[in-house]
Amino acid sequence: MKRILILLFAGLSACTTPTPEKKAPNSNPIISEMTINQTIDTLKLKKEIKDFDRLAKGVRHAASLWRDEDGSATDFAVFCKKNYITSEAERELFFEKVSRNLESIYGHFNKITLDLKENIDLNNGATLDIDKDFNAYSVGAHLLDDLYVNKIAFSIALNFPYYTLEEKGKFDRSYSRKSWAMVRLGDVFDSRVPAELQQAATKAETDADIYISEYNIEMGMLRTESGKQIFPDKMSLLSHWNLRDEIKANYGNAESGKEKQEMIYKVMERIINQDIPGKVINNPQVQWAPFSNKVLKDGKEIVCPAEPDQRYQQIINNFQAAKAIDAFSPEMNTFIARKFYSEMEIPQEETEAMFDGYLRSPQLAKIGAVIEKRLGRSLRPYDIWYDGFKSRSTIPPQDLDTKTTVKYPNPKAFEADMPGMLMKLGWSKERAEFLASKITVDPARGSGHAWGASMKGEKAHLRTRIHESGMDYKGYNIAVHEFGHNVEQTNSLYNVDYYLLNGVPNTAFTEALAFIFQSRDLLLLGIKSNQPDLDKLNTLDTGWSLMEIMGIGMVDMKIWKWLYAHPEATAAELKVAVLFITKEVWNTYFTPIFGIKDQPILGIYSHMISNPLYLPAYSYGQIIEFQLEEYLSGKNFANEIDRIYQQGKLIPQLWMEGAVGTKISVKPILNKLDKALD
């Protein structure tokens, strides 16, 4: 599941381009090179200043953010001479004061944002348009503007300048924790985005999130071509998460599992193609035969137009809002680059090359052959979600549902059990109670998410979908995933030595811990697996799952590249492009394994709609998870997780080296796959 990233400042998501070291033109460059050099030379005369490189970088960075409304070139020079800190002791004191104040700002704005989103995010009754308006409101949108007006932003940027990813990569392990925290302070004011553009970007993403959170398919109203109902009454599945999980659940259903999977796959195709009848979405009043696409009400077929291209309009809206920000990013000027070079801090080209190499690995076709043998049939496109390697695949789904609904009838029951779950994983009673006390559980309207606190004293929120009858196994499995996120969020906030280092390098690292927790869901239920060769089966499952998520990540990246190449595209044109891209990626990587061409299934993921370019982080999350699991084997699980996640927000490779002693790589997975397949 996705982790919500609250960008209370525009500057928290630094700005980037496919060639990140090439700067985009300043939107209003009023500070000349001559003024910059004269200012630097004048400050160099102060004998207290020793680090001339940092001085020059600070002046240049502040100049890149200066606008007409901030004053003249002379005003800029005077400001720098007055506000550049020459004493290292004063600079450290300045850093401590700013850190404390930012924690207060972030923390309280985070709480306000949670409150404003509550009526949309939580299943607490009907929603009104005013709820959606508050949900889309970005409480921190004008904060950066204010901090530039009162010159606080310039004081910070001047003394704690922004470093590019390439520059950060040159800092070796001798760099102190405090030095890294100071580097992270420099990330806060890396760009200057007008408040109205930041607000528009927030609204576009929020609208897309609402669209997805309300996109349910009433499974009990689906019919075969002969009119048969094959799903239970009142089963309502959210796209795409619950539809995918229902496919997974039916691998253990020998009687009707394949029939159900085929129908769900047809539903997915209708959603991707946007020929799904509009009236069948969130509507338990009509029946729908997905294969013929007929809609019936009271036993009679009715005319029902397809949903307009709303799915693709959400992507267009996100793209246009992001593109409007590009010109205001002095370091990097596309959303693609901001996402990879700043937020993920892993180059996009490096990501794509890793995915391409893994997806072409011969081991994947061998796993496919194993799955075919286990299924006793040829592979179908939805078998990208094959779930038969997991321990739960041997347990009837209804047995798991019964166990979880009784154990967790409501959110508070899950919350009350969190200390016990943590103790089962190895935390002491005292430590488990501390971590659990910083997490609260809420009933989600959509699929759910984990939302961390942004200051000490506040709680992280675990939001998960719970039916009236209680938490079914699918909901429980997702809740355990989100619980992993919350443990990371709590650990990397309360146990990190400097506030500016709170968190993780990027979302992949919190996904890794969420996956690790999720893989232990049966253990937490008290169910032990007696499967032979369990370690080999887990390796095959990891290898296959990574193939699926990397393929989807490739689609996500290609869609955004297409958008930048066709910035005036309509939703209808984007739909055609997405269908082409999904089939192209499928034919390149999946056809050699599945023996089927031109499948659009990789376009179903909801993240593409509501959380742009999030999916590549999932692949890294699984890679990191595998490396962590290999490292954790035979060690004290709880102690190591605490140690690893207390590293905070270092750059990815440095964090990984500190965690397990090696960099992020798919080689350990491929090597272990060879052994498992042997």
Give me the domain span that covers residue 235. 211-311
412 and 363, same structural domain?
no
Q: How confident is the model at residue 29 (pLDDT cuts 50, 70, 90)?
A: low
Structure tokens that stand for 585 in this block: 């990626």
pLDDT at 351 over 90: yes
635: in domain: yes
Contacts of 83 (CB under 8 A, 6+ apart): 151, 154, 155, 158, 159
- Quick one: 143 and 52 in the same domain? yes
Establish if 402 belongs to a structural domain.
yes
Residues 6+ apart with CB under 8 A from 36: 59, 60, 63
Q: Is the pLDDT of residue 6 over 70?
A: no
Whether 3 maps to a domain, the answer reads no
* 336 in any annotated domain: no
pLDDT of residue 299: 86
Same domain, residue pair 570 and 598: yes
Of 456, 471, 504, the residue at which a domain comes to its end is 504
Q: Is the pLDDT of residue 418 over 60?
A: yes
- CA 407 distance to own-chain centroid: 29
Range list of β-strands (E), 493-595: none
Domain boundary among 504, 538, 572: 504
Confidence of residue 126 (pLDDT cuts 50, 70, 90): confident
Residue 627 placed within a domain: yes
8 Å CB contact between 413 and 271 = no
pLDDT at 20: 35
Residue type, 242: N
Which residues, in sequence order, are bridge partners of residue 451? 461
Identify whether residues 480 and 582 lie together within a single domain.
no
Same domain, 354 and 405: no
Q: 513 pLDDT band (50/70/90 cuts)?
A: very high
Can you tell me the mean pLDDT for 189-203? Answer: 89
Integer Cα distance of 481 and 475 in angstroms: 10
Mean pLDDT within 557-571: 98
Q: Which pLDDT does position 318 carry in this prediction?
A: 97
Cα–Cα distance measured from residue 506 to residue 582, given in angstroms and rounded to the nearest whole number = 26
* Residue 393 binned pLDDT confidence (cut-offs 50, 70, 90): low
458 and 561 housed in the same domain: no
Q: Does 490 lie in the same domain as 615?
A: no
Percent of the chain with pLDDT over 90: 79
Compute the average pLDDT of residues 548-557.
98
Residue 152 sits in the same domain as residue 75: yes
Q: Tell me: the pLDDT tens digits for 106-115?
A: 999 999 999 8
Q: Are residues 177 and 261 located together in one domain of the fold?
A: no
In a domain, 97, yes or no: yes
The pLDDT value given to residue 474: 86
The DSSP bridge partners found for residue 334 are: 16
Q: What is the residue whose two structure tokens read 């650990």?
A: 491
State the pairing for strand pair 460-464/448-451.
Answer: antiparallel
Q: Name 320's Cβ contacts closer than 8 Å, sequence gap at least 6.
A: 204
Q: Determine the average pLDDT of the residues in 503-514.
A: 95
What is the model's pTM?
A: 0.86
What is the dihedral sign for C-alpha 335, 340, 342, 347? negative
On whether both 370 and 401 belong to a single domain, the answer is no
Given a cut of 50, whether residue 26 has pLDDT beyond it is no
Tally of structural domains, the chain: 4
Task: Tokens for 434, please give them.
Answer: 């501390």
Residue closest to 546 by CA, chosen among 394, 395, 374, 354 = 354
Domain endpoint, select from 487, 504, 521: 504
Q: Tell me what the pLDDT averaged over the chain comes to.
A: 91
Q: Which residues of 244-273 are buried (b: 16+ CB within 10 A; e: fewer)?
A: bbbbbbbbbeeeeebebbbbbbbbbbbbbe
Do residues 31 and 165 share a domain?
Answer: yes
CA-based diameter of the chain, in Å? 89
Q: Is residue 5 part of a domain?
A: no
226 and 294 both lie in a single domain = yes
In one-letter notation, the amino acid at residue 329 is: S
At 13 the pLDDT is 30
| Residue 1 included in any domain | no
